[in-house]
């Protein structure tokens, strides 16, 4: 009887340890982006924002904010994969929800003077 209890306890401890390890790995920051990926991201951002009719220094500020926000949350490969895999269909959203949520924090830059 005690063997069964001991086995169950050990199994539970191992399960909790693996969950804790997985959580710790998820909280690690993504690897740094290569300089080329940063430049490409900012160039694409500038082109998209300028095409929407917004000009001036806030374009640079927004693109800098957007690039930093993406770097803090995702690796460059993750961003490319999300963009590749995302199909907006008939929706107005042109970006994957994960990217959209991350970039929303930079919206006040565009709304400023």
Q: Are 45 and 66 in contact (CB under 8 A)?
A: yes
Residue 42: inside a domain? yes
Residue 45: inside a domain? yes
pTM beyond 0.85: the answer is no
pLDDT value, residue 86: 86
42 is in which domain, residue-wise? 35-111
- Check whether 33 has a pLDDT greater than 70: yes
> What's the rounded mean pLDDT across residues 45-74?
93
Angle at 61 between CA 87 and CA 100, to 5 degrees: 20
- The per-residue pLDDT for range 8-29, each reduced to its tens digit, is 444 444 444 444 455 445 678 8
Confidence of residue 3 (pLDDT cuts 50, 70, 90): very low
Sort residue 89 into left (φ over 0), alpha (ψ -120 to 50) or beta: left
**Counted domains in the chain:** 1
């Amino acid at each position: 009887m005690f063997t069964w209890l001991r086995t169950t306890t050990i199994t539970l401890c191992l399960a909790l340890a693996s969950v804790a390890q997985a959580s710790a790995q998820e909280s690690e920051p993504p690897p740094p982006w290569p300089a080329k990926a940063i430049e490409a991201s900012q160039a694409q951002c500038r082109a998209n924002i300028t095409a929407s009719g917004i000009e001036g220094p806030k374009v640079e500020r927004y693109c800098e904010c957007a690039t930093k926000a993406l770097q803090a949350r995702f690796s460059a490969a993750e961003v490319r994969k999300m963009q590749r895999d995302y199909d907006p269909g008939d929706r107005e959203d042109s970006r994957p929800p994960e990217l959209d949520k991350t970039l929303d924090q930079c919206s006040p830059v565009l709304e400023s003077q």
